[in-house]
Amino acid sequence: MNKKFNLLNSNYNVHKLFSSKKKTYEILSKKKIPVVKIERKVANNSNFYFVTKPVYGAGSENVNLIKSKLNIKNDKHLIIQKYYTGIKGSFTMICKEKSTEVLSCSEQIIDIKNKRIFQKGVVIGGLEKYREDFRQLSKKIISRFPGFFGFIGVDVIKIENVWHILEINTRFTSSLLGIERAYGYEAVKKITNLYLNKKIDTKKIELKKITKVFFN
């Protein structure tokens, strides 16, 4: 650090905010960006299912489906959200200061076993028809948080015809695995150009082939 070594990632404050699912909800709500609500109270006689997740966690780690708060243990370290059946997806973007470019628009492949929720794969390009929605959402994010830099993944779900954010991952995500097959080498060049030259390539890319990627 004394030699002014530059880290090619988002700044510390951005990492600190979005590594916590609780802080993610609080700050996005404050900034008027659609985000899935964290439930403060859950009635034991509720007719809804709920999802519990660790405040700090990656992937599908310890994500559970519950019927009431009676099923929750150590809830201080968990968040609770209503379970929605809408389209679940993600988009990836490259960011620098107040500029951003959406790369991929994907649908998540979800499975539920023994009340555990898993993301077992992703369909790269599966939500391409929503690219403009994701582009507008990415602009809202970057305009309010200019500390983002590099490859960023955003998990979303459609609720009452509005895309709501579940998580923002300030790092490379699993979608990277299928981007070249789905969108061609030009999409990969956009990523390397940003990290090597610190410039965002705004040249339009086209979906070439919808690509499924399974994690196991």
23 three-class SS: helix
Q: What is the pLDDT of residues 19-68, one digit of tens each?
A: 999 999 999 999 999 999 998 877 666 778 899 999 998 777 789 998 86
Q: Is the pLDDT of residue 89 over 80?
A: yes
In the prediction, which pLDDT does 40 show? 80
Residue 25 near residue 50 (C-beta atoms within 8 A):
no
Give how far Cα 100 sits from Cα of 52, 58, 210, Å: 31, 24, 23
112 C-beta neighbours (distance < 10 Å), count = 13
At residue 131, the pLDDT reads 97
Q: Which of 29, 22, 32, 23 is nearest to 53 (CA)?
A: 22
Least confident residue range of 15-29, 49-63, 185-199, 200-214: 49-63
Percent of the chain's residues with pLDDT above 70: 91
Rounded CA separation 12/19 (Å): 11
Quote the CA–CA distance of 180 and 182 in Å, as a whole number. Answer: 5
- Which runs of E-coded beta strand occur in 77-193? 78-82, 88-96, 99-113, 116-124, 149-159, 162-169
The pLDDT value given to residue 61? 79
Helix 176-183 / helix 185-197 crossing angle, nearest 10 deg: 120
Residue 5 scores a pLDDT above 70: no
| Residue 54, beta-bridge partner list | 78
pLDDT at 70: 55
How high is the pLDDT of residue 177?
83
The mean predicted confidence, pLDDT, of the chain is: 90
CA dist., res. 34 & res. 44, Å (int)? 27
**Which of 45-59, 65-79, 156-170 has the weakest average pLDDT?**
65-79
Q: What percentage of the chain reaches a pLDDT higher than 90?
A: 73
Please say if the pLDDT value at position 1 is more than 60. Answer: no
| Domain assignments of the chain as residue spans, ordered by start | 12-35+85-214
Q: How confident is the model at residue 77 (pLDDT cuts 50, 70, 90)?
A: confident
- Provide the pLDDT for residue 108: 95
Q: Report the pLDDT value the prediction gives residue 142, as an integer from 0 to 100.
A: 96
What residues have CB less than 8 Å from 90, skipping those under 6 apart?
106, 108, 122, 153, 154, 155, 156, 173, 175
Q: Which fold has domain 12-35+85-214?
A: D-amino Acid Aminotransferase; Chain A, domain 1 (3.30.470)
What pTM was estimated for this model as a whole?
Answer: 0.91
Give the mean model confidence (pLDDT) for residues 95-103: 94
